[in-house]
Amino acid sequence: MSRRVVLFVLCGMLALPLLAMAKKPKTHAFGWEDMFAMVRLSEAKPSPDGKWVLFSETRYDVESNTSNTDLAMVDRKGETHRRLTHLPAADYNGRWMPCGKSIFFLSTRAGSAQVWRLPVAGGEAYQVTDLPVDIEGFEMSADGKRLVFWAKVFPDCKKLTCTAKRLEKKAKDPVKAMLFDKLMIRHWDTWFDGRRSHLFSLRLEKGVVQGSAVDLTPGWDQDSPTKPWGGSDEFDISPDSKILVFASKPSKGEAWHTNTELYRVPLSGKSKPKCITSSNPAWDTGPVFSPDGKTLAYLAMERAGFEADRFHIVLHDVKTGRKRALTKEWDRSVREMVWAADGGTLYVGASEHARGKIFAVDVESGKVKPLVEVGRNAGLGLTPAGELVFLRDRMVHPKEVFVYSPAMGKTKQLSHVNDAQLAKVRVSPPEEFWFEHDGFRIHGWILKPVDFRKGRKYPLAFMIHGGPQGNWGDDFHYRWNPQFYAGAGYVTVGIDFRGSTSYGQAFTDANRGNWGVGPYSDLMAGLKHLLAEHKFIDAKRMGALGASYGGYMINWTAGQDHPFKCLINHDGDFDTVSSYFNTEELWFPEWENMGTPWEKREVYERNSPMQFVGKWKTPMLVIQGALDFRVVETEAFATFNALQRLGIPSKLLYFPDENHWVRKPQNSRLWHRTVLSWLDRWTKTRRPGKRE
């Protein structure tokens, strides 16, 4: 072989790895802009033939401070992804017609939220409804001849035009005063204007509306569905398309009770709704008819006044009205369910050990079998072949469409909408841990900083979740995403203290009347455990942050002998007494503190962070949304006033256009920049460029 050939071969061999390196995409540590670049999927619905899955895709434009939602679908093999709509409008709530040849969906493209129809094979969408009020959501009957929707109306209005005219008159009236004679006067982020969510039925013939909408709850001064944002999981239509069962909460004393009932009404609207759960004073919801229509499965709590009680499954005989508790002995709270085609199994979603798992429940015996145990899996749908379709997310990726075959016992990812964006970033794999404290076995997550190196010490971001009946799940969060802090160079920790969900009802109940001391001791015990196990945590550079109950716990921590260099409180209570009189859902503080402040004053005061204000000394960032009617702005102002009067370094970040959360893109960017800057300042963390 000549020297020229040898050199050519050697150069070629050397070029191969160099070429591979050149083709390898550049990546960077996960940051805020990556989080908002992710496409957010929702509502996975299998087609009638099981060959496609329909879902919604929401994209955010940070510079215009807007979002846009489109419909898309992916085939059962996961090979073809089709985006069905592309207009600068919200297209969502997609539902298949029984024939599978067209899709009904909600759209704002005509200026108000109405139902539109789109041929699957191609063609232009056209408007189906043209009502004088916005439609909040809808479902189709099995025969395609009925469309059930819900909309906000004034209860005394017999026609939708009455509600529209009254709203128009109010908008033109220069007097904006409001007069109330009962609670609630506002909820979450909305003032009560006298309207209620009512369910309506529309007749369809070959997909065309016939006649006027029939109000199925005429004159009702209560919401149906009950959730402030609506919810089709709160009603179901019988397989014969004749009966509707729905959840609704009686309005008398609604601010201090949780007694949601189930009602039955014919879709024709020819008779009034009939309550079928009057014997239970607690929460009943989530009705689902069996395939043969003979049995109604629904979710029920046992304790009135407690919104985080365990939901168990009840089977209701549609003909006789007899009821049978199916999962009363299973110590997990069911959140959703779907029947198997043969009616012998219920596939259910329930949280267990910080994961949203899928289980199979035998209808005869109540025996429970775990099926899918990885990540958070929600939005169950069933194909004709008996496969489960759902959305899954984890701490390392946002929601995508998945399918599970009970026959094969295998799960497959169908959509890959965010794969390209994920390929650009480096994330931190979460590690779970357990520790023993005060008779409890407590769970938590730890994420090392992205690009972690052995031998180095790193600052700590100690995250405290809200609720307190919540948890740090294996999911992808868009406001409290641990990857954001790991990407910024922090060891990131989340601990599920007593009161957290997914560990059994006794653990969830364990902080009633004990909001401060018990959970705080769990958090500090967990931190002590981590510091002993992981020498890479710099104990001199730690910050704690939390929202809602987590914000309350930040205020509580400020008055204790804690190890943190700085604190961040988002929408957290300052005083449990004052917050009771300022919030809207009074049943919540009454349950948590075992009564009202005039009945259980000692409990409220014992658990109030205000009692320890004199001991505050730690720098704190306070964040508040003006439209948060759950933890009102005066709690944040009181916190900030105390900090300033004590001369403690502090800042107040106030959003006049946000509620309990911060959702607008540019507001979210400011939130994350401010939070990270505060952590950096007090933990002495410096990064070139300070990438957010």
**Structural tokens at position 13:** 């061999």
Kindly indicate the confidence band of residue 14, based on its pLDDT and cuts at 50, 70 and 90: very low
Kindly indicate the confidence band of residue 498, based on its pLDDT and cuts at 50, 70 and 90: very high
Name the β-bridge partners of 389.
381, 403
Say how far apart CA 387 and CA 256 lie, in whole Å: 41
Please compute the mean of the pLDDT values over residues 566-573 and round it to a whole number. 98
Q: Give tens-digit pLDDT for 625-683.
A: 999 999 999 999 999 999 999 999 999 999 999 999 999 999 999 999 999 999 999 99
Least confident interval from 4-18, 574-588, 646-660: 4-18
Q: Given a cut of 90, is residue 227 above it in pLDDT?
A: no
Per-residue model confidence (pLDDT) at position 8: 33
Kindly indicate the confidence band of residue 15, based on its pLDDT and cuts at 50, 70 and 90: very low
Rounded mean pLDDT of the chain? 94
User: Pairing between strand 431-437 and 102-107?
Assistant: unpaired
Q: Given a cut of 80, is residue 690 above it in pLDDT?
A: no
Say how far apart CA 428 and CA 99 lie, in whole Å: 45
Give DSSP secondary structure letters for 57-103: EEEEETTTTEEEEEEEEEETTS--EEE---SSS-EEEEEE-TTSSEE
Please compute the mean of the pLDDT values over residues 443-468 and round it to a whole number. 98
- Sign of the torsion angle spanned by Cα atoms 128, 130, 136, 142: negative
**Structural tokens at position 239:** 């397989």
Say how far apart CA 356 and CA 531 lie, in whole Å: 29
Residue type at 95 in one-letter notation? R
CA 527 from centroid of its chain's CA atoms = 27
Per-residue model confidence (pLDDT) at position 7: 32
- Among 569, 471, 468, smallest CA distance to 519 is for 468
Q: Give tens-digit pLDDT for 385-436.
A: 999 999 999 999 999 999 999 999 999 999 999 999 999 999 999 999 999 9
**468 prior amide bond cis, ω within 30:** yes
Say how far apart CA 545 and CA 605 lie, in whole Å: 23
Say how far apart CA 554 and CA 448 lie, in whole Å: 23
3-class SS at 441?
A: strand
Per-residue model confidence (pLDDT) at position 443: 98
Say how far apart CA 636 and CA 580 lie, in whole Å: 15
Please state whether 211 falls in left (phi above 0), alpha (psi between -120 and 50) or beta.
left
How many C-beta atoms lie closer than 10 Å to residue 526's C-beta?
24
Per-residue model confidence (pLDDT) at position 688: 60
**Structural tokens at position 666:** 């540019």
Sequence-ordered list of residues with C-beta below 8 angstroms from that of 167, at least 6 positions apart, any chain: none
Per-residue model confidence (pLDDT) at position 24: 65
Say how far apart CA 109 and CA 170 lie, in whole Å: 25
Q: Give tens-digit pLDDT for 86-125.
A: 988 899 999 999 999 999 999 999 999 999 999 998 889 9
Domain ranges of the chain: 431-683
The phi and psi torsions of 466 (rounded to 5 degrees) equal -90, -170
Kindly indicate the confidence band of residue 25, based on its pLDDT and cuts at 50, 70 and 90: confident
Give DSSP secondary structure letters for 135-169: --EEEE-TTSSEEEEEEEE-TT-SSHHHHHHHHHH
Please compute the mean of the pLDDT values over residues 270-288 and round it to a whole number. 97
3-state helix, strand, coil in the chain (%, to 5): 20, 35, 45
Per-residue model confidence (pLDDT) at position 290: 98
**Structural tokens at position 249:** 């909460």
**Structural tokens at position 612:** 């320890």
How many C-beta atoms lie closer than 10 Å to residue 96's C-beta?
21
User: Pairing between strand 334-339 and 388-394?
Assistant: unpaired
CATH topology of domain 431-683: Rossmann fold (3.40.50)
Per-residue model confidence (pLDDT) at position 224: 93
Q: Give tens-digit pLDDT for 582-641.
A: 999 999 999 999 999 999 999 999 999 999 999 999 999 999 999 999 999 999 999 999
